[in-house]
Structure 1
Amino acid sequence: MDAILSDDLTLEDDFVLLRPLVEIDIENLLHFSINEPDLWLYSLVRANGKENLENYIQITLKAKANKTEFPFIVFDKISGKYAGSTRFYDINLPFKTLQLGYTWYGKEFQGTKLNKHCKYLLLEFAFEKLQMERVEFRADNNNQRSINAMKSIGCKVDGILRNNMPTAEGLRRDSIVLSILKEEWFESVKENLKAKL
């Protein structure tokens, strides 16, 4: 299984390419960090500003080394530009579960089909290569844009975790939990999502 999540892993179709995030990708993402700081309004780890972006990348690369996360940088083939980042996290291979999140795209790429292409590739990989039984998604319960995006790819709401984690401002947030199960992927989610690409 470890060999599948390797540093040469790429997921791609005609519209998007996802490859492992590396430290020097700060140069590919810095313009978002400086010019679109509100992309991380609901994020637990902010990446607005160069120092925060460096910290954001270091945190996930350390978790990758510990085999609990696998971050990707997203390249939009249509525009020829880097678009953002996403990752697998809370990877639990014995339980066959992981979470998919920390997803953000520059404003130019929001509302396009980029997210659906990314999610299709990531879910296909999770269920068909990694043999996951469940892929979970979480968001701040106030982040309606993310919640709508997750529902649009076929996620089902599991429930709300009340007051379950701190925000970047030191307050507490309710987190909505959504998921897709392996049988749902093969029964309907895969084809429904493919039809939206």
Structure 2
Amino acid sequence: METHLEHDIILEDNVAYLRPLQAGDIENLIEFAENEPELYKYSSVPTTGRENLTNYIDQALQRKDTKTEYPFIIFDKRTNEYAGTTRFYDIQPNQKTLQLGYTWYGGRFHGTGLNKHCKFLLLQYAFETLQVERVEFRADNDNVRSIAAMKSIGCTVEGVMRNHIFRHDGTRRDTILLSILRDEWFNGVKENLLRKISN
């Protein structure tokens, strides 16, 4: 697995622009944290309000320093607005694997195709630049929207980890596990996703 994660990564196409998350980005995301609590219903990390969002960003940047995570802020070129955030995490260079998650967008960006553009850029980078063998995705098994989105980009469901972790409200969740493998990316997933974002 290549070591490009040690440098600033900029990913973009005609719709999406992803750059490294910074501490000052709280001002670009606070609107969502303060006004759209429903975005974080299924999150395992509290993100509503300024204090929680500050902690969320601080933790992401600390983990970036340890090279186990790489967080991005997402900008929608069509509306000229910051839209949300996502990251690579659980990065394991020796195993050539990583997870893709901690993804959320403001409500007005749902259903606009922005997520598919971002996922294409992130997956392309993971498989073609970092040369990983596997990208894993996880979600609350009750999060129907997120699971549908992952399946729509070509993820394969591997199973459900029962009573896996705490939600931020203290209840326990079942976690669904999905993935895309390197061979799958080059043998259909990439082409199908590219077709979807080109329509």
* TM bucket, shorter chain: over 0.9
SS in structure 2 opposite 1:5?
Answer: helix
Q: What is aligned with 2:14? A: 14
Q: What is aligned with 2:186? A: 186
| Cα distance between partner residues in 1 of 2:61 and 2:186 | 31
- 2:197 matched to 1:172? no
What residue ranges of structure 1 are gaps of 5+ in the alignment?
Answer: none
TM-score with structure 1 length normalisation? 0.98
SS in structure 1 opposite 2:157?
Answer: strand
| Cα distance between partner residues in 2 of 1:36 and 1:164 | 26
Q: What is aligned with 1:40? A: 40
Contact 2:6 2:67 in 1 (8 A): no
Q: What is aligned with 1:134? A: 134
**Cα RMSD between the aligned structures?**
0.7
| Cα distance between partner residues in 2 of 1:184 and 1:148 | 18
| Cα distance between partner residues in 1 of 2:8 and 2:149 | 29
Identity of counterpart residues, as a percentage? Answer: 61
- 2:79 matched to 1:50? no
Alignment: residue pair count = 196
Alignment of 1:77-116 (within 5 A): 77-116=77-116
User: Over residues 73-117 of structure 1, what are the superposed CA-to-partner deviations in whole Å (9 max), with x where a residue is unaligned?
Assistant: 000000000000000000001000000000000011000110000
Q: Structure 1 residue 10: deviation in Å?
A: 0.1
SS in structure 2 opposite 1:185?
Answer: helix
Q: What is aligned with 1:5? A: 5
| Cα distance between partner residues in 2 of 1:75 and 1:139 | 23
Contact 1:70 1:89 in 2 (8 A): yes
Runs of 4+ in structure 1 over 4 Å off: none
Moved more, 162-171 or 90-99: 162-171
Q: Structure 1 residue 7: deviation in Å?
A: 4.5
TM-score with structure 2 length normalisation? 0.97
Q: Structure 1 residue 8: deviation in Å?
A: 2.5
SS in structure 2 opposite 1:112?
Answer: coil
| Cα distance between partner residues in 2 of 1:54 and 1:141 | 27
SS in structure 2 opposite 1:174?
Answer: strand
1:37/1:140 CA distance change after superposition, 3 Å: same
| Cα distance between partner residues in 2 of 1:5 and 1:194 | 24
Which letter maps to 2:149?
Answer: A
| Cα distance between partner residues in 1 of 2:87 and 2:36 | 20
| Cα distance between partner residues in 1 of 2:191 and 2:94 | 28
Q: What is aligned with 2:153? A: 153
Which letter maps to 2:116?
Answer: K
Q: What is aligned with 1:117? A: 117
SS in structure 2 opposite 1:18?
Answer: strand
| Cα distance between partner residues in 2 of 1:65 and 1:5 | 11
Q: Structure 1 residue 6: deviation in Å?
A: 3.7
What residue ranges of structure 2 are gaps of 5+ in the alignment?
Answer: none
Contact 2:133 2:182 in 1 (8 A): yes
SS in structure 1 opposite 2:5?
Answer: coil
